[in-house]
Amino acid sequence: MSKALEGVRVVDMTHVQAGPVCTQLLAWMGADVIKIESPKGDVTRQQLRDLPDVDSLYFTMLNCNKRSLVLDLKSDEGKEVFRQLLRQADVLVENFAPGALDRLGFTWDVVQEINPKLIFASLKGFGPGALEHAKAYEAIAQATGGAMSTTGFDDGPPTVTGAQIGDSGNAVHLFGAICAALYQRTHTGRGQRVTIAMRDGILNLCRVKLRDQQRLEHGPLGEYPNDEFGDAVPRSGNASGGGQPGWAVRCKGGGPNDWLYLVIQPPVWEPLMRRIGREELVNHPEYDTPEKRLRHLGNIFGMVEEWTLTREKWEAFRELNAINVPCGPVLDTHELLDDPDFAATGMIVEVDHPERGKFKTVGCPFKLSDSPVEITRSPLLGEHSDEVLAELLDASPIKRLSTVDAG
């Protein structure tokens, strides 16, 4: 069966997390992703190693289904090979510091001249403005894009999310933009420049907080649990952030993740109160409308917690789910890695690596009925240099240019 992006060749100049996640998605959709590495390799091959002298999980989990080509782009020969790659490619993706490729002589104008059909995609920390030349990391993008100021509890500090929304989240943004550019090229015949700033992507994911900022101008936000409101949307702990009140409650067991999250929609008020033994509140004049209940959310979730503390989180989930209460157990990373449902759907996949042995990785989050994903291991450094050069170039420079420890 053919793949969605079969026949698309991607020159992958990315490193660390955001760029490699994007190009890995392209590879999973069938693109031929050629990862360009210096003789020393992507820095993440050696970062956060759990085993000595093998590629780290940081690298192996972000670079599946790719081919590795070692090039010294500071040499004339390396630059010529790169030009030939660009001539025969559909997409170039990079996430270097601003101006890095320009200094190597590959500006957008030059790239367009080499291949007018090429889509040149870049992911940077920031767009034009006061932060344009600042260094960007995941947490810095969250800090400057609105996530940190609205995450955490109102009596605590701004907090970063556990999910990598700045890196992996923006990788998905860039993946979508590249696919859109590829589709537009089918009509125009032209490539184009595609850019995303991590800060911009964070702001997009904080859209509902910007909604609430404008609502705040007309008065306090009733669905928030906060007692006081200033000029900006406050941190609101585990409040749902939507139109229905939600909160995390403790469960039996007392472990750090023995918790359940639930949302109290108006239709489930009566069955929920009856399930937890609080029938007297179903038609109580202080609780009989959603608007009245907003004033008592702390008390309501406290009563729910009294009930959940008598049940393990999966037991509480099953009972509440049976009466249509939106809820879910808080699952930790150990539970997720061994989750049988994730294994069955291909979201947790075991991969065999020639140096580090078997490891688990996260699979593709979206499923296409006509483009199934088969995850293969990440490449060893320079593993496909001879193969790629033989496909693209005259045979004469292959040995000289593909030596991993050269330079």
258: annotated active-site residue:
no
pLDDT in tens, 150-192: 999 999 999 999 999 999 999 999 999 999 999 999 999 999 9
Q: Is the pLDDT of residue 275 over 50?
A: yes
| 231 exposure class (CB count in 10 Å sphere: 0-12, 13-18, 19+) | exposed
Q: What pLDDT, on a 0 to 100 scale, did the predictor assign at position 401? A: 52
- φ and ψ at 93, to 5 degrees? -125, 135
pLDDT in tens, 25-79: 999 999 999 999 999 999 999 999 999 999 999 999 999 999 999 999 999 999 9
Mean per-residue pLDDT of the chain? 94
How does residue 309 score in pLDDT terms, banded at 50, 70 and 90? very high
- In order of their start, the domains of the chain are 9-204+338-401 (3.40.50.10540), 245-325 (3.30.1540.10)
Determine which one of 42, 55, 167, 258 is catalytic.
167
Cβ atoms of 137 and 124 closer than 8 Å: no
Alpha-carbon distance of 10 to 252, in angstroms, equals 50
- Mean pLDDT over 95-121 rounds to 94
Q: What percent of the chain clears pLDDT 90, i.e. is strictly above it?
A: 90
How does residue 405 score in pLDDT terms, banded at 50, 70 and 90? very low
| Least-confidence region, from 15-29, 174-188, 228-242, 311-325 | 228-242
Tokens representing 247 are 């909160």
Neighbours of 265 (CB within 10 A): 16
How does residue 399 score in pLDDT terms, banded at 50, 70 and 90? very low
Cβ atoms of 203 and 145 closer than 8 Å: yes
**Overall size of the chain counted in residues:** 407
Instruction: Provide the H-helix boundaries in 206-256.
Output: 207-216
Instruction: Provide the H-helix boundaries in 61-126.
Output: 76-87, 100-103, 108-114
Q: What is the pTM assigned to this prediction?
A: 0.93
pLDDT in tens, 364-391: 999 999 999 999 999 999 999 999 999 8
Tokens representing 368 are 């296409």
Alpha-carbon distance of 124 to 115, in angstroms, equals 23
- Mean pLDDT over 205-216 rounds to 95
Q: What pLDDT, on a 0 to 100 scale, did the predictor assign at position 242? A: 74
